[in-house]
Structure 1
Amino acid sequence: MSSPGRKVIISCAVTGATHVPTMSEYLPLTPAQIRDQAIEAAEAGAAIIHLHARDPADGRPTPSPDVFRQFVPAIAEATDAVINITTGGSTRMTLAERLAYPLQAAPEMCSLNMGSMNFSIHPLAAKVSSWRYDWEKDYVEGMEDMIFRNTFKDIRHILLTLGGQGTRFEFECYDLGHLYNLAHFVDQGLVKPPFFIQSVFGILGGMGADPENMTLMRTTADRLFGRENYQFSVLGAGRHQMPLVTMSAILGGNVRVGLEDSVYIARGVKAESNAQQVRKIRRILEELSFEIATPAEARAMLGLKGRDKVSL
Structure 2
Amino acid sequence: MAQQKVIVTCAVTGSVHTPTMSPYLPITPDQIAAESIAAAEAGASILHLHARDPQTGRPTAEPSVFMQFLPRIKQSTDAVINISTGGSSLMSLDDRLAASLLAEPEMCSLNMGSMNFGIFPLAKPGTEWKNAWEPELLEATRSTVFKNTFADIESILKRLGDGCGTRFEFECYDVGHLYTLKHFHERGLVQGPLFIQFVLGILGGIGADVENLVHMKRIADKLFGDEYRFSVLAAGRAQMSLITTGAAMGGNVRVGLEDSLYLGPGELAKSNADQVSRIRLILKGLSLEIASPTEARAMLSLKGGDRVAF
Ranges in structure 1 where 5+ consecutive residues have no aligned partner: none
In structure 2, the residue matched to 1:120 is 118
The CA deviation at 1:141 is 1.4
Query: Which amino acid is 1:36 matched to?
Result: A
1:184 equivalent in structure 2: 183
Instruction: Report the secondary structure of 2:32's partner residue.
Output: helix
Amino acid at match of 2:18: V
| Equivalence map 1:156-167=2 (5 Å) | 156-164=154-162, 165-167=164-166
Aligned to 1:169, the other structure's residue is in SS state: strand
Of 250, 254, 268, which residue of structure 2 is paired with 1:256?
Answer: 254
**Is this contact kept in 2: 1:112–1:172, CA < 8 A?**
yes
Per the alignment, residue 200 of structure 2 pairs with: 201
Could you say what secondary structure the match of 1:100 adopts? helix
1: distance between equivalents of 2:159 and 2:187?
A: 15
Instruction: Give the secondary-structure state (helix, strand or coil) at the position aligned to 2:124.
Output: helix
Instruction: For 2:122 and 2:12, locate their aligned partners in 1 and report how far apart those are by CA, in whole Å.
Output: 20
Report the Cα distance in structure 1 between the residues aligned to 2:237 and 2:2, rounded to whole angstroms: 24
Q: Which residue of 1 aligns with 2:101?
A: 103
Q: CA deviation at 1:287?
A: 1.2
The CA distance in 2 between the partners of 1:159 and 1:303, in whole Å, is 16
What is the identity, as a one-letter code, of the residue corresponding to 2:35?
A: Q
Partner of 2:210: 211
User: What is the CA–CA distance in structure 2 between the aligned matches of 1:32 and 1:264, rounded to whole Å?
Assistant: 22
Cα deviations by residue, 1:25-72 (Å, 9 ceiling, x for unpaired) = 100000000000000000000000000000001000000110000001
**Unaligned runs of at least 5 residues, structure 2:** none
Which residue does the alignment assign to 1:169?
A: 168
Q: Secondary structure at the match of 1:292?
A: coil
> Aligned pair in 2 of structure 1 residues 128, 26: CA closer, same or farther (>3 Å)?
farther
Structure 1 vs Structure 2 CA RMSD: 1.1
Runs of 4+ in structure 1 deviating by more than 4 angstroms, as ranges, are none
Q: Distance in 1 between matches of 2:133 and 2:54?
A: 14
Query: Would you say 1:292 and 2:290 are equivalent positions?
Result: yes
Residues 65-123 of structure 1: CA deviation (Å, up to 9, x unaligned):
10000001100000000000000011110000001010111100000000000001211
Q: CA shift at 1:137, angstroms?
A: 1.2
Could you say if the C-alpha distance between residues 284 and 2 of structure 1 is closer, same or farther in structure 2, counting changes exceeding 3 Å? farther
Query: 2-side partners of 1:140 and 1:161: how far apart?
Result: 30
Q: What SS does structure 1 have at the residue aligned with 2:10?
A: strand
The amino acid across from 1:213 in the alignment is N
Match of 1:16 in 2: 14
**1:310 corresponds to 2:302:** no
Distance in 2 of aligned mates of 1:205 and 1:83: 28
Letter in 2 for 1:9: I
Aligned length: 309
Q: Which one-letter code corresponds to 1:243 in the other structure?
A: S
What displacement does 1:20 show?
0.8
DSSP 3-state at the match of 1:11: strand
TM-score, normalised relative to structure 1: 0.97
Q: How far apart in 2 are the matches of 1:129 and 1:277?
A: 26
Residues 2, 249 of structure 1: 8 Å contact kept: no
**Aligned equivalents of 2:34 and 2:196: distance in 1?**
27
1:75 is matched with 73
Structure 1 residues 149 and 128: CA distance shift in structure 2, 3 A: farther
Give, in angstroms, the shift of residue 127 of structure 1: 4.4
Q: Hey, what does 2:55 align to over in structure 1?
A: 57
CA distance in 2, matches of 1:2, 1:120: 34
Cα shift at 1:126: 2.4
2:91 corresponds to: 93
Code of the residue aligned with 2:111 in structure 1: it is N
Q: Distance in 2 between matches of 1:23 and 1:120?
A: 17
Query: How far, CA to CA, are the matches of 1:210 and 1:302 in structure 2?
Result: 27
Q: TM-score, normalised by structure 2?
A: 0.98
1:126 counterpart SS class: coil
Residue 2 (structure 1) shift: 7.1
* Structure 2 letter corresponding to 1:198: Q
Q: Distance in 1 between matches of 2:60 and 2:208?
A: 29
Work out the percentage of aligned pairs sharing the same amino acid.
61
2:127 to 126, 129, 153: 129
